Amino acid sequence: MDNRPLKIYLFFCSNSLDTDTARRYCAGQKGEELKAISLPCSGKVDLLYLIKAFETGADGVMVITCKQGACRYLEGNLRAARRAEAVDSLLEEIGVGRGRIKVIKPQEEGDVEHIIREVDNFRAKISNLVRSNSQ
């Protein structure tokens, strides 16, 4: 079985989550490397950033956006979702399979607990996925 630490990238919109919160609550757990990358808007996330994350060894990637309709640049969160979908599809083409990338949208503005819950669920899912693939 592969014993290397789980590597997860977290791209987040700095308007929906501040860097301190991201570091404090979404910090990597034992046996896990979690890299948090702040963006001025989730719409800044590009296919290239996401695929490079996987190329540099990410097992899973999360993109935290604003809640629907709350993007201060109007459609940044919609663009982020489309780009994540495109990368999911590209990963399937490559042979990695779908489900390695997740867009997390808060239900309410400032609902950090929801974000943390979703981050935990995703890292657990990726951990299981990596473990089952390496067996």
Partner 1 sequence: MIVAERKTIPELIEILQGHKKVLVLGCGTCVTVCLAGGEREVSIISSALRIASRLASSSLEIEELTIERQCDNVFIEKAAEAIERNDAVLSLGCGAGVQAIAERYPEKPVYAGLNTAFLGILEERAVWTEKCVACGACVLHEYGGICPITRCAKHMLNGPCGGSREDRCEVMPDRPCAWQLIYRRLKGIGQLDRLKQIKPPKNWNASIHGGPRVIVREDHRI
Site for partner 1, rule CB under 8 A: 46-48, 51-52, 54-55, 90-91, 93-96
Least separation in angstroms between residue 2's CB and partner 1 is 13
Least separation in angstroms between residue 90's CB and partner 1 is 6
Least separation in angstroms between residue 67's CB and partner 1 is 24
Q: Which DSSP string do the residues of the chain spell out, in sequence order?
A: ---SPEEEEEEEETTTS-HHHHHHHS---TTEEEEEEEESSGGG--HHHHHHHHHTT-SEEEEE-PPTT--TTSSHHHHHHHHHHHHHHHHHHHTS-S-SEEEE--SSTT-HHHHHHHHHHHHHHHHHHHHHHH-
Least separation in angstroms between residue 96's CB and partner 1 is 7
Nearer to partner 1, 96 or 116 (CB): 96
Nearer to partner 1, 48 or 124 (CB): 48
Say how many C-beta atoms besides its own lie within 10 A of residue 4's C-beta. 11
